[in-house]
Chain A
Amino acid sequence: MSVLHISEVTKTFSGGTHAVNSFSLDIADGELVCLLGPSGSGKSTLLRMVGGFEQPTSGRITIDGEDVTHLPPERRPTGMVFQSHALWTHMNVFKNLAFGLKLRRMPAAEIKEKVEAVLELVGLAGYGDRMTTQLSGGQQQRVALARSLVLEPKILLLDEPFASLDQHLRERLREEVRDIQQRLGITTLFVTHGQDEALSMADRIVVMANGKTEQIGRPDVVYRDPKTPFVAGFIGTMNLIEGEVQNGQFVRSDFTFALPIIDGPATLAIRPEALELTVSDTPKAQVHRVTDYGSHGLVDLDLADGTRLKSMVAHPDLFRAGQGVDLLPKAVAAYRDNQQIFRSGM
């Protein structure tokens, strides 16, 4: 049973910049939570505070009820996997993994047994004698993960561990890491700025911006029901259209949409897959470009005032550049003053 509790944590750097601002989060035993946000959103600083590499300016961090806020990293029951692997290149794979166990004065036979078991777990059995510089990027990242896992930490911290890997390897490794995490049932906090990673791995996603939580929820919920325009724009692809509501109609250029809210400015959010197109003699938009991805197509559209929208279509061959089309949104959300004020079909 390993529960992480982050309460009202703030980190202010010299100059008064709030990297993390009054952040709270509870992570249940065995849960994998992704901190997702753009660069500078404070997600890595928060992870480093949990790991003990940064001290919070205020707030409290507990693991299984024990206050670890002011403990140094070496005394915390956490294990961190770094973005750059951070392997010790003067040691071979076995020594990299055994180092932490030796510091705990474990008998040599037990160290050997544990290291071999964890190498087996990450698919690197028999690699103990290799120098880390002889390994590929993916293998190095597995060693970094194994180095953390071999110490059986209560909380596993992953700081953009796949950022330096190519797309194919990244996809493979995230599946492997998720499998290992579920098999071991280890409570995990994962930092990424890749929404695919967050959506495919996490039990819950915490979307962060400017050191604050924008939204916390299951990946499907965050994707389907973004509570702020920032989340709507950050998770997946989203058409965000700024406009005015007049007499129950959202208006932007020639595009109108029935929106039963009080008159005033609003932002309309429509996913490309929820924006259907029909070829029309009284077009609301003009096709700019059609991209065929094989399984589906992506149509770039321009409203009369030049606003660019995207629509995902099943048959891209039906559309061509310069064509006039009508827009039929099937699911929308509307935002005003940074709050969701209307949602339909999402």
Chain B
Amino acid sequence: MSEFVERSVSAPAETAASRRPIGLLLVALPVFLVIWLVIWPAINAISRTIWRTDTDGNSSFDLSSYAFFFSDRYSLDNLAVTLWTTLICAVLLLVICLPIALYLRFAHGRLPAYVQALAILPMFVPSIILAFAFIRVLGPNGMVDILLNAVGLPKIRTPYLTPWGPVIGLVWDNIPLTVLILLSGLGSVANQSIEAARDVGANAFRVFWHIILPRISNSILVALSFSVLGIFSSFTLPYLLGPASPEMLGPFMQRTLRDLQDPIGAMTQAVVAFGFCILFGLFYVRSVARSRGK
């Protein structure tokens, strides 16, 4: 009897102990991949760009690649166009996605379900397909030009191969994630707290400004951070839709590595891009921590 009791009591502890290695094994693979594919290349790139080996095989601390990047007009133009694209995309995403998310949160009936399906659709379209669809529609002699021509109107000035090309593509590509994050934030705004605001005399705008916006500020921050980080380091859409000069950092790195065969220069650009992304990340963490502290 006592043996049975002893066995029953020790069973949960044994189960927990036997589960521990399985849990660790499950976590180990992603941790290993992050270390192998993200952390190690980052450390490697930073160290190789600041600790350089000269032709005689002597290693020394050397910031000349960074000095070149920040003094080279072309590199700075590329950085500027990347920051400009990121900023414009962030603003456009907020302006486009917030009304969609508000509509989806507060509208009733079948129509919002169709709107949501349409808003989420870009998530299932690969960037390369999106880029070619863009070219066929908005590119030179694309569908829009053909339609305009059919009704006797002049051709549009196509955004293809201008800085607006990547902006349109990246905004379209990031709409689903931004809408979903904003929608989840709006889900935490209770209907009754909105009704209470209307009850004390707030019109729709004041309800949005004073009640909804403060409640979803974190979600806006998360949505924008995710989009900004993705857009800043994007490659496919800027490569296929953007201008050759200036170009965003993604295509710039690829060209520096492949065409110019300058791995240190490409790595320097990558470290600069990484630095900016860390800055965005720190801003996000600080803002979230501050709002949690409130």
Residues on A close to B: CB < 8 A? 51-53, 72-75, 78-80, 82-84, 86-90, 99-100, 103-104, 144, 147-148, 151
| Neighbouring B residues of A148 by C-beta, 8 Å | 199-200
Interface residue? B215 (CB, 8 A): yes
User: Do A99 and B192 contact each other (CB < 8 Å), given the known contacts A88-B211, A90-B214, A90-B215?
Assistant: no
**Docked-complex contact B201 and A151, CB < 8 angstroms:** yes
**Docked-complex contact A99 and B197, CB < 8 angstroms:** yes
| Neighbouring B residues of A73 by C-beta, 8 Å | 195, 198-199
| Neighbouring B residues of A100 by C-beta, 8 Å | 200-202
Residues on B close to A: CB < 8 A? 190, 192-193, 195-203, 206, 210-211, 214-215, 294
Shortest C-beta distance, A146 to chain B (Å), equals: 12
Instruction: Tell me the number of A-to-B contacts counted with CB atoms below 8 Å.
Output: 63
Of the residues A72, A75, A86, A103, contact of B196 by C-beta under 8 Å: A86
User: Do A99 and B195 contact each other (CB < 8 Å), given the known contacts A86-B190, A90-B214, A90-B215?
Assistant: no
**Docked-complex contact B200 and A147, CB < 8 angstroms:** yes
Of the residues A72, A84, A104, contact of B192 by C-beta under 8 Å: A84
Q: How far is the CA of A74 from the CA of B198 in the complex (A)?
A: 5
| Neighbouring A residues of B190 by C-beta, 8 Å | 84, 86
Of the residues B195, B201, B294, contact of A103 by C-beta under 8 Å: B201
Residue of A53, A90, A147 most packed against chain B (CB within 10 A) = A90
User: Do A103 and B206 contact each other (CB < 8 Å), given the known contacts A86-B193, A87-B193, A88-B193?
Assistant: yes
Of the residues B195, B202, B206, B210, contact of A86 by C-beta under 8 Å: B195
**Docked-complex contact B215 and A74, CB < 8 angstroms:** no
**Docked-complex contact A74 and B202, CB < 8 angstroms:** yes
| Neighbouring B residues of A147 by C-beta, 8 Å | 196, 200
Q: How far is the CA of A182 from the CA of B33 in the complex (A)?
A: 70
The 9 closest A-B pairs by CB, nearest first: A100-B200, A86-B192, A86-B196, A73-B198, A90-B214, A103-B201, A82-B192, A74-B201, A86-B193
| Neighbouring A residues of B193 by C-beta, 8 Å | 86-88
Q: How far is the CA of A147 from the CA of B193 in the complex (A)?
A: 12
Of the residues B197, B199, B201, B215, contact of A104 by C-beta under 8 Å: B201
For the complex, would chain B's binding face be called helix, strand, loop or mixed by DSSP majority?
A: helix
| Neighbouring B residues of A72 by C-beta, 8 Å | 198
User: Do A80 and B196 contact each other (CB < 8 Å), given the known contacts A86-B190, A88-B211, A99-B210?
Assistant: yes
Residue of A72, A84, A86 most packed against chain B (CB within 10 A) = A86
Shortest C-beta distance, B220 to chain A (Å), equals: 14
| Neighbouring B residues of A52 by C-beta, 8 Å | 198
Q: How far is the CA of A33 from the CA of B142 in the complex (A)?
A: 69
Given contacts A51-B195, A86-B196, 8 further A-B contacts (CB under 8 A): A73-B195, A74-B200, A80-B199, A82-B196, A88-B196, A88-B210, A90-B294, A99-B197
Q: How far is the CA of A87 from the CA of B192 in the complex (A)?
A: 9
Of the residues B192, B195, B199, B206, contact of A79 by C-beta under 8 Å: B199
User: Do A82 and B197 contact each other (CB < 8 Å), given the known contacts A74-B202, A88-B211, A90-B214?
Assistant: no
| Neighbouring B residues of A84 by C-beta, 8 Å | 190, 192
Shortest C-beta distance, B290 to chain A (Å), equals: 13
Q: How far is the CA of A43 from the CA of B294 in the complex (A)?
A: 38
Nearest opposing residue in chain A for B211, CB measure: A88
Of the residues B192, B203, B214, B294, contact of A74 by C-beta under 8 Å: B203
**Docked-complex contact B197 and A88, CB < 8 angstroms:** yes
Shortest C-beta distance, B205 to chain A (Å), equals: 11
13 A-B pairs (CB sep. < 8 Å): A51-B195, A74-B199, A78-B199, A79-B199, A80-B196, A82-B192, A84-B190, A88-B197, A89-B215, A90-B215, A99-B200, A103-B200, A103-B206
| Neighbouring A residues of B199 by C-beta, 8 Å | 51, 73-74, 78-80, 148
Shortest C-beta distance, A157 to chain B (Å), equals: 9
Of the residues A80, A83, A103, contact of B202 by C-beta under 8 Å: A103
Q: How far is the CA of A144 from the CA of B130 in the complex (A)?
A: 51
Nearest opposing residue in chain A for B203, CB measure: A74
| Neighbouring B residues of A151 by C-beta, 8 Å | 200-201
Q: How far is the CA of A100 from the CA of B211 in the complex (A)?
A: 12
| Neighbouring B residues of A78 by C-beta, 8 Å | 199
Nearest opposing residue in chain B for A84, CB measure: B192
Q: How far is the CA of A147 from the CA of B211 in the complex (A)?
A: 15
**Docked-complex contact B195 and A80, CB < 8 angstroms:** yes
Q: How far is the CA of A140 from the CA of B54 in the complex (A)?
A: 71
| Neighbouring A residues of B201 by C-beta, 8 Å | 74-75, 100, 103-104, 151
Residue of B210, B211, B215, B294 most packed against chain A (CB within 10 A) = B210
Q: How far is the CA of A73 from the CA of B192 in the complex (A)?
A: 13
Q: How far is the CA of A53 from the CA of B202 in the complex (A)?
A: 13
Q: How far is the CA of A104 from the CA of B294 in the complex (A)?
A: 28
| Neighbouring A residues of B203 by C-beta, 8 Å | 74
Shortest C-beta distance, A4 to chain B (Å), equals: 16
